[in-house]
Structures are given as structure tokens and as C-alpha cells.
Amino acid sequence: MCRAGALSSLLQEATAEMSELTAEQRALGFSDSILERGGRGWCEVDPFDGQTDFSISPDEDLDESRVRRWLDLNETADPRRAVGFLIAMLGSSLERESTAAAAALWHGLGLQNRRWPPPGPPRWRIFERLAFDLDDVLPDAPWGPWFWRRDQGPSLIDEEYPTETISWEPTAWRDLYLRLAFRLRGDRYIDPFIVSILVRGRLDTAIGSPDPITRSLAFAALEPFDAGEGGYPPRPPELPPTPPGGLAVSTMIHGTWGWKGDWWRPGGTFHQFILGSHRPNLYARGAKFSWSGAYSAKHRSLAARDFQDWANDVAPHGLQSVFGHSYGGEVAARAACAGTPIHELVLLSTPVTNEVARTVKPDMRIIDVRLRFDPVLAIAGARQRLPKHSKAVEILLDKWRLDHGATHSEHVWRAEDIARRAGI
């Protein structure tokens, strides 16, 4: 999973973001040649133009194919080999592994923006090769491709817990995968179409998975990563100074749709843990702060304005600690940069956008709690390390974990002794 996330970032040429994770990439088995290149020039290569190694035969050992393609990638540092490895990984019988490969291909190659073949023979060849398979296999739920579905609004991805879950059926997935992957023949028009069908069908199913890690990978791929400025909220008029001893309230801010959950609500497990053990002033009354959780800089800017208003009403003398998960951390950072007095900002798996990086300054303590390598942020091509500063305390989880939400887990905090390490 982490390898797939790293390859997604490299295919997007997120060179600066990945340069901060050299040790982690080396631990994942990436060669020095890949680390030295860092994805530079990968976006300029069309992996579907001139590649003939994507095809998977029906009797092929996928584990052996993945190993072979991984070794080829490490030797050549060729983006085409990276795509070939991910295509082989896509056929995995493991739910999380196949979803990670699908997410990396979808986001890393920008398949959602790839154009159809031009009219005429190139487009005709698609249907000549696939017509019988499309009629015989793909319309059967849950593997129908996205372009045959009618419910393509945000309802597919706007809930932490899907109303109808789709159980993982590895045999059905492998059968479909092999029937289509066998038809990858180095055709620059047909191959991306086949890969897009497989990838988007896999992601649509993963959204309905009962497994939260599988869902998180699909969310990361299907939701566009918007790190735009979005504007800062205005400074509140006549902001009262923070008197000594006046920091009376702490609070929590949830992340985007996929990471919302109940952990941050009064009565939630993590809320109860922090309230009972570390911050007895954690806000636990009725008018808790919440925001839309939409994936856009505009919505995060609006959320920061709303948080300013909430903080001025609830904590006019300032906030002691604000715990923000994922983009909830950016909401808090935007508010802090606009003048909301926050003594301590606890970032939980927060992508390091420009707004978050600007928050690192002498007048506020920052505790940055995160995975050593976050596959969700890697798939999105997001930065995972804060700039070094004496007021910023970095807490990397000792154990390699895959769950983007692990940083707001009571069990993880206890097992990793995070509160003591962070001085909370």
C-alpha cells in the first residue's frame, strides 16, 4: 500500500514532497536510482505510448509478476515500469492492496482527465476488442463501470459509513481483472481505456467497503486534492487580548467527509480520552464546532471564518489546545493565521499545505502527530512534513501504520505514549 502511495506521488512529480521522505522510501525498498531521480520528468512520459509489458495472461502468477516488475522498476527508474507494477498489483486478491493500486493509477496518471481516443478506427478498435466482455461481465453489480451509473453525485462519497456496504469478493474481482488485463497489448488508445474501466470500477466498489482503510484509499483518489489558497478569513474586529491564565477552552476539529466520524464529538472515544486524561477543559457542551468537510480550499476558508466566530463566542480569551485531524488541522491553521488566539495546535495526519506551513511561528506551539508514511496523503501527492522549527514538535508513530485516522485513536495514543512524548 505504501509503495503504491509513493508511486502515485512520483507519477505526479511531487518531488519536493517526496524528498522529505527519503528514509521512508528507502525502507519501502525503493532503489537509489529512483530516490535520486525523485519522479523528475515522469509526467512528461506517456506510459501507454510504446509500452508492451502491461498485459497479464490468464495463467500468470500475479505475485511473481509483481516481484519481477518491481525489480525492473528499481533497476530502470522508468515511470512505465511503475505503471506496469501498479497494474499487476491491481489484480491482487487482497482488498486494500488492489484498492491502493487503483487509487495510485487513478490519481497518479490523472485518468479522470484522460481524453477518449479520436473518432474513427482508434475508437472502433476499443469496441471490437471489448464488446463481448462489456456485455457479459461489466454490467453485473458491483463491478459496473462508472459511466453506466446514474447516481454520480457526491452521495457516493459523502458519508464516513456507507449505508450499503459491498463485501469484498476476491474471486469475482480476479476473474474480471484477468479478462480485461489480458487485452492490454501496447495500444495507446485501448490500454488507457481498459485500465480506466478496471481502476474506476475497483474504486467505486471500495467506497462501499466496510473496511475503513480501503474506503480511505478510495476517497483519496476520487476526491480532487485542492491545496489552493482559498483566501484567509478577515481578522476579527477588536480582538480581546489573551490575559495570563485566560486560556480556558480546548476543542477538536474533524477532517473532510471521509474522516469525519464521531471521534471528535462530545462522548466520542477520542474526545472522552483527551477530556478525561489530558484536557479537562475540552469543550463538551452542545454548540460544538463542525464544518462541511468538503474537499476545497474555498470550503476550508469558510470553515476558518466560522471557527473564528465560534471561538470568539465560546473562548473570547483564547483557546488552549486545538486538535485538528487531516484538513481540520488546516481549518485551525487558517483561523490562527487570521488572528484567532490558539496557544497549542495539535495536528493529526494533516497535509502540510501552504496555510499549515505558515502557522509554524514563534507565538504558537505546534504538535505534529502523523504516520511515518501516510499512503492516503501520498496518493494525493500532499506534503507530509512540517518545516523544522523550535516551537514545532514532530511525533512520528513508531509502528508503521496504514490508517489515516490512526492519529485520533485512543489505542494508538496509549500504545505510542503520544501525550507524554508531545508534552500534552
Residues 163 and 43 in one domain: yes
Residues 270 and 357 in one domain: yes
In a domain, 404, yes or no: yes
Residues 161 and 272 in one domain: no
Residues 208 and 256 in one domain: no
Residues 183 and 80 in one domain: yes
**How far apart, in whole angstroms, are the C-alpha atoms of residue 74 and residue 71?**
5
Residues 187 and 290 in one domain: no
In a domain, 308, yes or no: yes
Three-class SS of residue 121?
A: helix
**How far apart, in whole angstroms, are the C-alpha atoms of residue 187 and residue 176?**
20
Residues 71 and 157 in one domain: yes
In a domain, 239, yes or no: no
In a domain, 236, yes or no: no
**How far apart, in whole angstroms, are the C-alpha atoms of residue 207 and residue 374?**
19
**Domain assignment of residue 62, given as a range:** 1-222
pLDDT tens, per residue, the chain with 424 residues: 999 999 999 999 988 889 999 999 999 999 999 999 888 989 888 888 766 668 888 888 889 999 999 999 999 999 999 999 999 999 999 999 999 999 999 999 988 887 766 666 666 566 555 544 544 444 444 444 444 343 443 334 444 455 578 889 999 999 889 888 888 877 777 888 889 989 998 998 998 899 989 998 998 888 765 555 544 444 433 434 444 445 579 999 999 865 667 899 999 999 999 999 999 999 998 888 999 887 788 889 999 999 999 999 999 888 999 999 999 999 999 999 999 999 999 999 999 999 999 888 778 899 999 999 999 999 989 999 998 887 899 999 999 998 999 999 999 999 999 999 999 9
Residues 184 and 307 in one domain: no
Residues 218 and 291 in one domain: no
b/e sequence 297-331, b meaning 16+ C-beta within 10 Å? bebbbbbbbbbbebbbebbebbbbbbbbbbbbbbb
User: What are the residue ranges of helices labelled H in 228-365?
Assistant: 269-277, 297-314, 327-337, 354-358
In a domain, 243, yes or no: no
Structural domains in the chain (count): 2
Q: Residue 214 has what pLDDT?
A: 93
In a domain, 238, yes or no: no
Total-model pTM: 0.83
**How far apart, in whole angstroms, are the C-alpha atoms of residue 414 and residue 42?**
41
Residue 360's domain is classified under what CATH number?
Answer: 3.40.50.1820
Containing 393, the helix (H) or strand (E) segment is: strand 392-396
**How far apart, in whole angstroms, are the C-alpha atoms of residue 67 and residue 415?**
34
Residues 92 and 204 in one domain: yes
Domain boundary among 204, 222, 240: 222
Residues 97 and 150 in one domain: yes
